[in-house]
Structure 1
Amino acid sequence: MYKPMHGLPFLPGTSFKDPTKTAFHRSQTLDYRNGYAVFRRPTVGIGGDRLSVSELSQSDLDEVATKTPQLTYGEARRPPPAQFVPAHVAFDKKVLKFSAYFQEDVPMSTEEHYRIRQVNIYYYLEDDSMSVMEPIVENSGIPQGKLIKRQQLPKNDQGDHYHWKDLNRGISITIYGKTFHIVDCDQFTKVFLESQGIKLNPPETMVPDPYTELRKQPLRKYVTPTDFDPLKQFLTFDKQVLRFYAIWDDTDSMFGECRNYIIHYYLMDDTVDIREVHERNDGRDPFPLLMNRQRIPKVLVDNGKNFPQCVLEISDQEVLEWYTAKDFIVGKPVTILGRTFFIYDCDAFTRQYYKEQLGFPDLPRIDVSKKEPPPIKQELPPYNGYGLIEDSAQNCFVLVPKAPKKDSMKMLLNDNKVLRYLAALESPNPEDKNRRFIFSYFLATDMISIFEPPVRNSGILGGKYLGRTKIAKPLSSVEDPVYYSPSDFFIGAVIEVFGHRFIILDTDEYVLKYMESNAAQYSPEALTSVQNHFRKQEDAVPELEKKQTEEATGVQELEALIEAVQKQHKDHPCKDAIRHMFQMNDKEASGFVNKETFFKICGLLNIPTDDSLIKELIQMCSHGDDKIAYFNFLRAFSN
């Protein structure tokens, strides 16, 4: 029978071939995936032997993946220089703005002899063009706006054009016969010119227009002969409109609803119009007006109720009182043509008008929005314990359930990556004290499987203890479960699996490498516990090797002694009787007999116990003071 010699140096004469080994083939390194031949790293050595270490370390793999093949493809090309950016791109939408004015003569007027017109000069940096714009003044009677359209303006008769270097504060420029005096510029223009090294003159104040200042003086007051003048009301309140936001609540009637409206009250002639607020896709015809602009009667005369309004318009003779601005108050209803509107808000101008003209304080906004009932929270039914929680929840979301989405990128990156741990069962039963379990954590799917190695004569079958599944932590909820992750596994950690508690005792070296390469996922205590565990194992290796060396030396001496006894007593006549006698006296088949019985048998079979070799063999087979192991002794007297 071949037995390897452990602990011998690998030198000529001390290495032995295994005569029982018949397989010397190499593992397959090529594979087909999707119809293409790809490289596959061998998982076993020659003849199916286990690989002691990986051929390439992680650092070597990283270097191979990132190293540029310069010997094959040459040096990498340098990136091209930065592209040239033209001026029309660099200065796109960048405009210099100057405030200026020019003087215009008014020959045929007794009130003014000249007019000051204020303009803005724009200089476009992208193409050196300029334009002159005059702000529009309402009711000025002068064509204003764009005085000079955008173009390159001539500077002199030699064909030169104005450049931004020619512009500054406090100077005058002549454009098409008109002299513009620049008084100031904006902040962007100031920063740009100073960045180009141009020293700006101090800003000047804009010269006012004498006639405009004259118009600002208070007019002479005249007493009108009547208390109310429609023309004065028209001129005073022209384009002044009060805006109110109202609702018409018709929910009490059948098929009624609450709709929003805007009421406009025109101060110039005391007319009212009502506009309906339309929302997008509300299913209604887009008519802008519910009621055209008109005066609304508030109190009619006695015979006004029978007045044929559908044929004739109501005049002042049929109305005692009309609706005025005082009848529209925020927070109060108003009935217009038989429909009651509730006013809940108004605009800022209306608030200011009521405060200054009618003496009302700030009108508050009333919240008329109806609060919607809170949405019904969809709760998942209790978990029944079959399958994963995500798979069971899909039956509650859609009628035809679909499989939960998987992280494909994570599965590709972590394919065939498994973390293995050795754990013990924490149980009060003494039968479970020596049970050991192997936890396998699959990084691609975050699933865990548990395997119990079978032990002979233990009374426990062993094998698969738990198939691949996700294990939730004890305190996590069913709606949002928190599953165990690799950071929860370390030496001494307690893992609770469906009511059973396991204690992690040991890991393999791949787990240590994975934890060191992904140290951010683990706590410092977890990483330290695994590192200290492997450091203790490394310290225990020399002592184990020493013990194995001593045992190997004793085995060699025993084998040599048995071989010498066999040569000396090869012709002993009672070889078969020796084995039979020892087995008869060892009724328990323990392999041991006491010394008295041993020497009695040797005396009956004429075995020379006083021989030096046999004395040494008996001493090596002795266990304790009164027992001798007769197995090796029988080998010396058998074939």
Structure 2
Amino acid sequence: MSSEPGPGLGLGLPFLPGCAFRDPMKTSFHRSQTLGYKNGFAFPRLPTVGIGRERLYVNQLSQAELDEISNKRPTLTYGRAKQAPPSSFIPAHVALDKKILKFDAYFQEDVPLSAEEHYRIRQVGIYYYLEDDSMSVIEPVVQNSGLPQGRLIRRHRVPKNDRGDHYHWKDLNRGMNITMYGRTYRIVDCDPFTQVFLESQGIELNPPEKMVFDPYTELRRMPMRKYITPSDFDQLKQFLTYDKQVLRFYATWDDTNSMFGENRPYIIHYYLADDTVEVREVYKQNDGRDPFPILIKRQRLPKTFVDKKKTFPSCVLEISDQEVLEWYTAKDFAVGKSTTLLGRTFFIYDCDEFTRNFYRDKFGITDFQPVEIIDKKPLEKVPQESPNPEDRKRRFILSYFLSNDMISIYEPPVRNSGIIGGKYLGKTRVAKPGSTTENAMYYEPSDLTIGSTIEVFGHRFVITDADEYVLNYMESNAESFPAATLQSLRDHFRPRQVVKETANSDIPMLGTHKQELDELIVQVQEEMKLHKYLNNKNIREAFLQCDKDGSGILDQAKFLALCNSLSVPTDAILLNKLIDLCSCGEDKINYRDFLRAFPS
């Protein structure tokens, strides 16, 4: 018996119990591959062997037999037909390489924050790449458009819907809308290649539409028509003839009629090359002025405006020929005459030699007699009394803070005093003279008596007056202050109270009125506890700073404005009643009685 079974051995024996046996020659039991590769492309093929690499003989044809059967034609009358050569296979990325469909389209974009345009039309090109069915949208770049232009949608397969479909070239046509990523594009036309390709595929194209342009862009492209008659005057000839030739005049500006005014000298330069004027100041050594040499920079100066009644901010805007009827020229300057330049009147009393020769040759003027300028007598010098005589008239406001025993000093600004007012000393604890680091002694409220001297870092301050609130506070807390301090304040305020009572003798303060005021203040204090945002300390300081003369009386309008700035609820019923009780007549308010409702 042969070791290899015959062709029918393996096929004739059924796989039954006792009839099956294992062939020891079989070592491979996998199925044969039915796919192959040719020139880089996959194609199917029929298996030639089965499991165990047994050859298959049933219905097995070779590749040559299959090719012969596929190309076999019926026999004609004149013999067998010629066998047609097999068609060559060309992949899509080769056949459709660099073949692109191009559509002209536009989309409308809203412009919500512009008063000149409500919408904007932006033209784009839609490109469809046939080799891989991808698309891209590109907007042509316009210079100085201010918009991010260029590639709006990068090249990829664009989704068509939520089901996973993508746009195909069969979905594109002229005269239709296409929505990509929430933006709708209107296709108006295509290029000739696209038209030929779509028609060759049996697609009927819609008629082309006209491209829509942006109305705002078209409006800006319209040229502004200007009808300006050319001037007969040759400015280039003037520049070449009079370049570096300047007329110089010596003038004064008399400002003695105004406060702190004086008669100051100036030099006026007139540039013949372009008819411009500049005014330069004349400085003397140790004249006490800042070195700003130019009063009026070089420019054309207007002499007569077209309409003097028309308000024109010439100090901030440039003046053109349309607003000026006549400009200053060389004829407007002469020795012994005055000229007004930008609101200042200058008197010309002399000029230099070049200016004399120019006027003599150009205008025939021969009289250049200079005018003598007589200075006014200076004010008599005030003899000095001390190294710092100005300190004798300086007034300060000293505030003592009971919460932390700190002192602050404020100097009210005095106009034309030569001293900058404001905060003189910030809140700090001030040590007494003779205080040392081992035994530090600081000023206390008992030291602040009328007429006492407070030495603050080498400067001495004499207490000349106080606020009535100080007296009221010390009287209400008499056990915390020395009797001498309290008595000095009472002696200081007694004459003032007598004067007030004498002045208001026709309107006496009744006992019932005072009792009513005290009861109302208690009620207001209870109500103000609900307004926790109020700062009584800031309210008191604001009123004290507003009272410059320390009279304790404020105008009703200023009083209400100050309450409004401090968020004091003056519209409350109790506060309105308190303000009425604090009224002194003639729209005056005694704010010190009002401040009793806001204890610190």
Mark yes or no: TM-score above 0.5: no
Q: Normalising by structure 2, what TM-score?
A: 0.25
